[in-house]
């Protein structure tokens, strides 16, 4: 019987096991699940950061932007484009769109595909102002080949993860986030800051409209645990012997619903057909055989098709690098804490920069307020250059008056600056005022979140 080296087998098993774990972590963190703070998957974050970094204020070919984004997200331009399409205002998948598109980007309730990336264009959306306000407050990390950097999260100014619905599937985890009304979410943040906890139950609000059949028990599950069943129904009205559908449930398309209805072969329904191209107030119509059979047809269609269905909400998000399933109220709590952390870092960075500005301005004012020394310094710099000027400052001013690290800076100012020193006094005073404002914000973070 052939003998095997058990140590080699054990080593191979460990290699496969460790490799699978590494792969799983990579997919969960870097591909499939959104972050609890900004509500973005890495591909979405890299798309909008590329737009922001490159200041794409005029329309650019989608294919070009996809190529630029590959520097941060090396998983193929088609994958980037598929994600970008859903982020545009023309597709309609997001309640708070992040990319301004021009061209055919498909639609959230249609199966019609978007145009190829060479035919569409994109640029910065005005909404991105809410995503990149405090960049000094977030951590920047190297990209995959360390040629540039990217933010770990975007410093978004509201809990975007609750406003834009998204879904994802990873190794052992899946996510199916419901979306809520922007105002309701912001009011929940205010409630948490004011009371120290959340207690208001808010209803989902999906971009495709339709009805949410309220179920208090399920909503409580969503608020507290992050998992529940939401019954969604299309918005309809009756016109004679026709049932007209004006809004479809989120996650369902016109084509899918029409096929389901026609495949039923109900005796009370003669036909269901698309009206989206002909009447903007109606997406599709269901033609019943008689007026008296409209209620019968409607009941059967709701029962047997996705004109009404249960949306399985699953609020699984990335929290501190790991997946967690958490309720809406917990998301608000964690978001507020993270927002305070980002604002604290941002304001401290600004205060440090302003203090340095004031320090430099006052050092220069010390030099120019002495008329005799100022004239000598200007003549020396004019005749012999800044090196001689540095030596003069070092020999004629104490280190309390002009610190050692500021000597070169003061000697390198343009000559007119020595005669117009007043602007440096204004600069120092302005910096002091801004520092006072920032220090007030730091001590009252609840008011500025």
Q: Calculate helix-pair angle for 386-396, 371-384, nearest 10 degrees.
A: 150
Residue 313's nearest CA partner among 189, 226, 432 is: 226
Distances in Å between the alpha carbon of 324 and those of 81, 149, 229, 316? 28, 27, 19, 5
- Rounded CA gap, 129 and 301, in Å? 44
**Start-end of H helices in 225-311:** 254-264, 294-304
Q: What are phi and psi of 107, to 5 degrees?
A: -155, 155
Distances in Å between the alpha carbon of 120 and those of 65, 81, 250? 11, 10, 25
**What 3-state class would DSSP assign to 247?**
strand
Q: How would DSSP label each residue in 258-272? A: HHHHHHH--TTEEEE
Q: Is the CB of residue 105 less than 8 Å from the CB of residue 114?
A: yes
Q: What are phi and psi of 405, to 5 degrees?
A: -75, -5
Active site residue 273: no
Question: CB neighbours of 413 closer than 8 A, spacing ≥ 6?
Answer: 364
Q: In what order do the strands lie in the sheet with 242-247?
A: 235-239, 242-247, 284-288, 269-274
Neighbours of 430 (CB within 10 A): 14
- Rounded CA gap, 300 and 303, in Å? 5
Which strand (E) or helix (H) includes residue 284?
strand 284-288
Catalytic position from the list 20, 23, 119, 273: 119
Q: Calculate helix-pair angle for 328-368, 371-384, nearest 10 degrees.
A: 90
Which amino acids are annotated catalytic?
119
């Amino acid at each position: 019987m052939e003998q095997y080296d058990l140590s080699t087998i054990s080593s191979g098993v460990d290699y496969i096991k460790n490799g699978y774990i590494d792969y799983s972590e990579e997919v969960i963190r870097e591909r499939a699940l959104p972050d609890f703070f900004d509500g973005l998957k890495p591909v979405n974050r890299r798309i909008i950061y590329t737009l922001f970094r490159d200041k794409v204020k005029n329309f650019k070919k989608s294919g070009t932007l996809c190529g630029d984004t590959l520097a941060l997200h090396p998983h193929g331009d088609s994958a980037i484009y598929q994600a970008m399409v859903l982020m545009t205002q023309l597709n309609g998948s997001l309640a708070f769109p992040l990319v301004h598109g021009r061209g055919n980007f498909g639609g959230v309730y249609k199966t019609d595909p978007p145009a190829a990336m060479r035919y569409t264009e994109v640029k910065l959306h005005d909404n991105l102002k809410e995503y990149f306000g405090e960049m000094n407050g977030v951590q920047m990390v190297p990209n995959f080949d360390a040629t540039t950097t990217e933010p770990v999260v975007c410093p978004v100014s509201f809990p975007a993860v609750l406003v834009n619905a998204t879904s994802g599937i990873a190794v052992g985890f899946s996510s199916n986030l419901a979306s809520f009304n922007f105002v309701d979410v912001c009011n929940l943040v205010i409630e948490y800051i004011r009371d120290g906890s959340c207690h208001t139950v808010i209803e989902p609000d999906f971009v495709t409209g339709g009805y949410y059949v309220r179920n208090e028990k399920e909503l409580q599950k969503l608020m507290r645990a992050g998992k529940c069943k939401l019954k969604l129904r299309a918005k309809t009205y009756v016109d004679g012997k026709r049932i007209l559908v004006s809004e479809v449930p989120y996650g369902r398309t016109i084509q899918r619903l029409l096929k389901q209805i026609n495949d039923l072969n109900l005796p009370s329904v003669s036909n269901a057909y698309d009206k989206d191209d002909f009447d903007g107030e109606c997406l599709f119509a269901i033609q019943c055989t008689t007026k008296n059979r409209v209620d019968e047809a409607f009941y059967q269609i709701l029962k047997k098709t996705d004109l009404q269905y249960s949306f399985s909400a699953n609020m699984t998000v990335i929290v501190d690098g790991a997946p967690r399933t958490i309720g809406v109220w917990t998301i608000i709590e964690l978001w507020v804490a993270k927002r305070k952390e980002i604002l604290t870092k941002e304001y401290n960075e600004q205060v440090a920069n302003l203090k340095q500005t004031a320090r430099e301005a006052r050092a220069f004012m010390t030099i120019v307020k002495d008329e005799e020394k100022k004239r000598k310094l200007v003549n020396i710099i004019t005749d012999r250059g800044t090196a001689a000027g540095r030596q003069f400052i070092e020999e004629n001013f104490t280190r309390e008056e002009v610190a050692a690290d500021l000597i070169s800076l003061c000697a390198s100012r343009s000559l007119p600056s020595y005669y117009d020193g007043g602007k440096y006094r204004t600069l120092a005073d302005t910096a002091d005022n801004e520092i006072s404002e920032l220090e007030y914000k730091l001590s009252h973070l609840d008011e500025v979140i």
